[in-house]
Amino acid sequence: MDAYYPVPRKRKGRSRVTNGKTLLAGMDGRTKWAKRLHDLVANHVADLGGPSNITQSQFVLIKSAANATIVLEQWELQFAKASTASLPELLAYLSVMNSLRRTYETLGLARVDPPRNIAPIMDMTKLTPAEQQRFKMLSHKADEVGLQGMSESKLRELQFLVEKATGRGSGPSATDAASRERPFHEIDYSRR
């Protein structure tokens, strides 16, 4: 038996919810509920590492958790204004709170930072044509034999070229002998 799955539609053929234009179909985005829902969903998505790091299933749970949070906030306001809560109201509140807790446990309660690209940005135009050629040769050599297989002088030369191409490096300057990260033009390479 062949299963037929829906083929993803083009952007214009999808619903406003799918395209991210609204969170709930048929709801005016200017209401207090819609604004609070949007804020909560955005914060939860950010806590889980951003839109590129969550699945559609997680997004549905996030939206449900945000709606439950709004319901709880409204009950809390009602309890505060009345200075009391009946037993059925309190039990309903605790039931929703427990469901919200389980949803958060499913999602993960810890904040996830989005992955950062910590690789330095290399601008090869900062190198002369001869240095660019030498960098290519040394990089190729490092790929072939690994950094451990290269001589110390070639490693220092490769490090110098990388630091010059990134515009940053670590080493002493003419005024401060301490080794720390500093702009490339401040580094005194005469002591090498």
Task: Record the tokens describing residue 95, joined without a space.
Answer: 């039931």
- Residue the block writes with tokens 């009946």: 86
Closest CA to 189 of 152, 149, 160: 160
One-letter-per-residue 3-state SS of 157-186:
HHHHHHHHHHCEEEECECCCCCCEEEEHHH
CB 158 within 8 A of CB 138: yes
Q: Is the pLDDT of residue 171 over 60?
A: no
Q: How confident is the model over 38-48, as pLDDT tens digits?
A: 899 989 988 88
pTM > 0.85 = no
DSSP state of 187: B
For residue 62, what pLDDT is reported? 93
- Residue the block writes with tokens 């993803």: 8
DSSP state of 49: T
Q: How confident is the model over 124-157, as pLDDT tens digits?
A: 888 889 988 999 999 888 888 888 888 989 988 8
For residue 176, what pLDDT is reported? 59
Q: Is the pLDDT of residue 190 over 90?
A: no
One-letter amino acid at 105 equals E
Q: What percent of the chain has pLDDT over 70?
A: 74
Q: How confident is the model over 148-160, as pLDDT tens digits?
A: 888 989 988 888 8
Q: Is the pLDDT of residue 60 over 70?
A: yes
